[in-house]
């Protein structure tokens, strides 16, 4: 199984890649579906950990809880996923 830091990096990269900041957010089930190689219970656990360190925020909606990146922590998020960003931008 993947380690916690790799799962956190996968989640942050997915949210960053799709520009889920502030007004743009996504349901937790969408993250579980897109990162289908990781069991959803591990994703939910890491979402809680990312929320504790204030890298993501939760938003209550009519259909449940949505997730988005904390724009105030953008530099820290880019630091965590820097290797993936370099390979993504080099294409």
- Please, what sign has the CA dihedral across residues 66, 71, 76, 81? positive
Q: Write the CA distances from 45 to 11, 20, 23, 50, 67, integer angstroms.
A: 11, 19, 24, 9, 13
User: Is 89 part of any domain?
Assistant: no
Considering its fold, how many domains does the chain have in total?
Answer: 1
User: Is 54 part of any domain?
Assistant: yes
User: Is 56 part of any domain?
Assistant: yes
User: Is 33 part of any domain?
Assistant: yes
Show the domain range for 71: 4-84
Whole-prediction pTM value? 0.90
Q: What is the CATH number of the domain that holds 77?
A: 1.10.10.10
Instruction: Give the model confidence (pLDDT) of 31-70 as tens digits.
Output: 999 999 999 999 999 999 999 999 999 999 999 999 999 9
Q: Write the CA distances from 9 to 5, 61, 63, integer angstroms.
A: 6, 25, 26
User: Is 90 part of any domain?
Assistant: no
User: Is 91 part of any domain?
Assistant: no
């Amino acid at each position: 199984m993947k380690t916690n830091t790799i799962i956190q990096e996968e989640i942050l990269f997915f949210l960053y890649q799709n520009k889920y900041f502030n007004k743009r957010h996504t349901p937790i089930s969408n993250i579980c579906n897109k990162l289908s190689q990781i069991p959803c219970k591990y994703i939910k656990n890491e979402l809680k950990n990312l929320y504790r360190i204030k890298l993501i925020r939760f938003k209550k909606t009519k259909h449940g809880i949505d997730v988005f990146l904390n724009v105030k922590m953008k530099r820290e998020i880019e630091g965590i996923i820097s290797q993936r960003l370099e390979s993504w931008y080099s294409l």
